[in-house]
A and B are shown apart, each in its own frame.
Chain A
Amino acid sequence: MGPHLDPFLVCATIQHTKLCRSVLAVSEIGTAQVLRSSIVPSSPPPSYFTSLKRFRDELHNERCLELLLLAEDTPCLLLDIGCGSGLSGSVLEECGHMWVGMDISSSMLDVALERETEGDLILADMGQGTPFRAGVFDGAVSVSALQWLFNADKKSHQPIKRIYTFFSTLYAALSRSARAVFQFYPENEDQLEILTTQAMRAGFYGGVVVDYPNSAKAKKFFLVLMTGGAAPLPQALGTEETDGLQVKYSKREATKGARGKPLKNTRAWLLEKKERRRKQGKNTRPDSKYTGRKRSGKF
């Protein structure tokens, strides 16, 4: 491993801690692949950083595409919201789809132009709505862009209103039975709540899928929205039997359970306790009809 390939070295040179954390998060998944396929053989640290960023974006976008559940082998017209330099769009190109990208930063779009991406680019603010005709797109993807809607950069910005405008215009621009998948970084539970309520208000069905919910680093939030009727959400990665929505509400369920806890020294309480011990991997006798009964006086 060359010195420039050491993720910790890269992190040491970056001041921004948040950025640093996200680099580390990827390096766990990404580095092994980078080394194996040696895509960055002798690049200097800055381009290593961008290539990591690229890996992250591409990984995310591949997952987004997976969640979109597009019909195979049919070229679709997709909308990439917050396309930036068009890196994420290249994943779409590889899968044979046409895409239209929108971003608020003209400098990023200039980079996309230099890279000669196939997609059409539009300079627009998603908080002002997506400026497209009704029913044009077969799907929408977005990689780490949705959280910016919560920023009020100007005095007149009202995040909730902007979110609603965005979702309602997006709903109109998508064809029926289309899906929109957003990978994003919510700051807290409230933001998730706001996003889902505003999306439902705009007419979408869907919810949040959390990949690797038990990992601090690999945890990924995907907002999956559907236009044509409710359908089961896709299975999140890194969870076994719980799906995304249940994970999201697990905290609430837990507090609900605490309020109505079974009375101590009852059979229900005992069964719960035994169940808990079993989950902890402790040696527990199997349940039977005698479980929780008083011993007879004889003993």
Chain B
Amino acid sequence: MLTSKCLKGVTTGYPLAINAKEVKITEIDFNPEFISRLIPKLDWNVLWGAADSIGHSEGLPKVIEPKYEENEEFLKKAHRVLLEIEIEEGNLTCPESGRQFPISKGIPNMLLTEAEVQ
């Protein structure tokens, strides 16, 4: 959902815009340690934007607080956005080329055609 970049003459190719048709929420065990390790690797603004675009940004702060490791409520929300919300059907759109990557059954199709390979 958050870590996809397309490569084919596109320099950054990030963030991919999400166009969700069907969103599924699955319960996954909460692991605060894992989430707090994951957060420094994320571009939080992009994540917030992505969550907002599929209508799941409620309660999610726009900026990360400095001591997020200790804030369990925040970590739970991040956990929900990062792991539990899955896009079943939809599209990912490259911001530079406008190329769409279809998502079906929760699997994004990142296969490129011959002409698109660098």
Contacts and interface: CB of A to CB of B under 8 A. Distances in A.
Interface string B38-49: 100101000000
B111 A125 contact: yes
B28 A118 contact: yes
Contacts, number: 70
Interface string A127-139: 0110111011000
B67 interface: no
A121 B106 contact: yes
Interface in A101-135: 102, 104, 106, 109-110, 113, 118, 120-125, 128-129, 131-133, 135
A133 B14 contact: yes
A66 to B, nearest CB: 21
Interface in B21-68: 28, 31, 33-34, 37-38, 41, 43
A121 B103 CA distance: 11
Contact of A75 (B31, B109, B117): B31
B37 A132 contact: no
Contact of B114 (A110, A154, A165): A154
B6 interface: yes
A129 B37 contact: no
A124 B105 contact: no
A75 B7 contact: no
Contacts of A123: 107-111
A98 interface: yes
Interface string B54-94: 00000000000000000000000000000100000000000
B4 interface: yes
Interface size class of B (residues with CB under 8 A): 20 to 34
B5 A132 contact: yes
A11 B4 CA distance: 42
B110 A124 contact: yes
A175 interface: yes
A283 B17 CA distance: 76
A104 B29 CA distance: 29
A172 to B, nearest CB: 9
A75 B110 contact: no
Given A75-B34, A135-B41, A104 B111 contact: yes
A131 B110 contact: yes
A160 to B, nearest CB: 14
Given A128-B111, A156-B117, 17 more contacts: A74-B37, A75-B31, A75-B34, A100-B3, A106-B107, A118-B28, A121-B106, A122-B4, A122-B108, A122-B110, A123-B108, A124-B111, A133-B2, A133-B5, A135-B41, A136-B3, A154-B114
Interface of B: 2-7, 14, 28, 31, 33-34, 37-38, 41, 43, 83, 105-112, 114, 117-118
8 contacts: A74-B37, A75-B34, A98-B34, A122-B4, A123-B108, A123-B110, A125-B111, A128-B112
Interface of A: 74-77, 98, 100, 102, 104, 106, 109-110, 113, 118, 120-125, 128-129, 131-133, 135-136, 154, 156, 165, 169, 175
